[in-house]
Structure 1
Amino acid sequence: METVIHETKHDVRLTVFGEAMVSRLVGDAWLKCHFTVIVVSTLISVMGNGYANQRVFQHFEDVEKIKYLNWCKFLLDCLVNVHAKWIPNKYQPFTGPIVFMTVFYVDRDAHLARVIQRTVPSVRGWTSKLLREREFLEIRAGGFGRVWLRFIRVMIVVCTGRRRPNR
């Protein structure tokens, strides 16, 4: 498969992918593969520097297999790996799947009164204004981020189908 990746230093910016995709006239395997790399690089396995995550590219070359990938496990693995690298230096930006974590957190947290009606997909209901209001409510109530343990447990149940995480 032809690709926009010609560099060997793995420093291809996501904009290069986007520009190449816009010029395509058909939704072929090339487009599906590169679109998946953009989704992964911006929502799941974020590089944090604007570059495409080219380590995952070979997994998407056979676009017929993309739908069979274990996306839930991939997301959790990325979250765990990035968190482990971030813990020693918490003053560095967290580059994990922050969009997913934000939406999942605000949608699943039941400690505060729900500001909006739950929607599917969850991201549809949360505007920037509502997220700011939510942040203000949590800070006023003593701080935010208090449900992460429950968040991890729910993710394990969702992804594995097990009712209790292994201890």
Structure 2
Amino acid sequence: MKEARKRKVDEGEPTNKEFVEVSEDENKKEYKRKKVAEKRKVDEGQAADDEEPIDEEPIQVSIPLQTSKTLRARVTSTPLFEAMRNLSAERKRIIREMGFGELIDFPIGEIPTKLAFFVVNSLETQSMGLKLSEGNIKILPETVQKVIGIPMGERPLERQEGERGYDDPFLAEWKSQFPEDKKRITTRNVSELIVATTNTDYMFKMNFLMLFANTMGCCDNSSDVKNTVLNNVLEDDNVREIDWCTYIGECARYSKNEWTKRCKTKEVVYYGPITFLMLVYLHYYTKFAAMEVRRRIPAFEGWNATLMKKRETLEMNKVNIGKLKVIG
């Protein structure tokens, strides 16, 4: 990389534009540093809430959007990031067979909140796109497929008929994986279950799909997981035939509408697909001269948490958020 930059200078190219890549080892080191810091807090006697773990709690920030309200966002990508770290070869094979192989070694463990809220605030649900000062970014199912690399089959996730009823035995079987006194099941709980087990059966498939749908899509407004996957994905279903891309787009629409309603209060929490919306904004459709990251498919082959934070810092320092060239 140093030689490439030197060659650019020798050839007279501007140096304020750089292609940035962070290795997987660097990303893991950053993750380990955060884990050590969290452990130190516990050792020093700071409170730990078993029902709402650190990574599942909303992060609270004050940012000047349309009002001076306090806004909060879940760290939505952390549970998926942790669950994808140490999968067995057999589990990786199963995930690839389902069409979600791009998510293996998912590199985004944290979302920079200030930039994320700008992106959510820019989403218009009627036209279904990000409205920026220099143009609009249309969000289609094809956009979802390019950005996160998931199946776009012909069958909607939510079945027209034949879905599981509330008394279906499998729902009780799935919940039995968690402690009996567990009243709320969050994405963090599902992630920890995947990490703690080694099974490669249908139950593992459902745990993975539940984690994906509630992390990259949206969960309940109380941070509980939605049962959409449990109710609509049956044992004999071909997961690749499901249109997961349209589902993620609908999650963005629904969660923004709910978020707008809650903006009438002093504190609001966004429970939708922040990770996806951020990658749309950062990767494919805007050009930022101070920092360029090589564009790849899916988008997180080029981006990780470290690069996202750097981009947020640079945009805020330049008072330039959203005032970027929109790429066709």
TM over 0.5: yes
Structure 1 residue identity aligned to 2:311: R
Q: Does 1:144 align with 2:321?
A: yes
Select the residue among 69, 89, 92 that pairs with 2:268.
Answer: 92
Please report how far the alpha carbon of residue 82 of structure 1 lies from its aligned counterpart in structure 2 after TM superposition.
Answer: 0.8
CA distances 1:93-136 after superposition (whole Å, capped 9, x unpaired)? 22210111112210023341252212333213223332222113
Q: Indicate if the aligned counterparts of 1:103 and 1:122 stay in contact, CA closer than 8 A.
A: yes
Provide the aligned C-alpha RMSD in A.
3.1
Alignment of 1:1-167 (within 5 A): 1=170, 3-5=173-175, 11-22=184-195, 24-47=197-220, 49-62=222-235, 64-90=237-263, 91-113=267-289, 114-145=291-322
Which structure: greater strand fraction? Answer: 2
The structure with more radius of gyration: 2
Which structure: greater helix fraction? Answer: 1
User: Can you give the 5+ residue segments of structure 1 that lack an aligned partner in the other structure?
Assistant: 155-167
Q: 1:45 to 1:94 in 2, by over 3 A?
A: same
TM-score for the superposition, normalised by structure 1:
0.70
CA distances 1:60-91 after superposition (whole Å, capped 9, x unpaired)? 23363322111111111111111111113334
Q: 1:10 to 1:36 in 2, by over 3 A?
A: farther
Q: 1:19 to 1:108 in 2, by over 3 A?
A: closer
CA distances 1:23-68 after superposition (whole Å, capped 9, x unpaired)? 5443111110121001111111233644222243111233633221
Q: 1:13 to 1:134 in 2, by over 3 A?
A: closer
User: Can you give the 5+ residue segments of structure 2 that lack an aligned partner in the other structure?
Assistant: 1-169
Q: 1:129 to 1:17 in 2, by over 3 A?
A: closer
Structure 2 residue identity aligned to 1:97: P
Q: 1:51 to 1:111 in 2, by over 3 A?
A: same
Q: 1:23 to 1:116 in 2, by over 3 A?
A: closer
Q: 1:27 to 1:111 in 2, by over 3 A?
A: same
Structure 2 Cα separation of the partners of residues 37 and 82 of structure 1: 17
SS at match of 1:56: helix
Number of residue equivalences? 149
Structure 1 Cα separation of the partners of residues 236 and 242 of structure 2: 10
Structure 1 Cα separation of the partners of residues 217 and 243 of structure 2: 13
Q: Indicate if the aligned counterparts of 1:3 and 1:30 stay in contact, CA closer than 8 A.
A: no
TM-score for the superposition, normalised by structure 2:
0.39
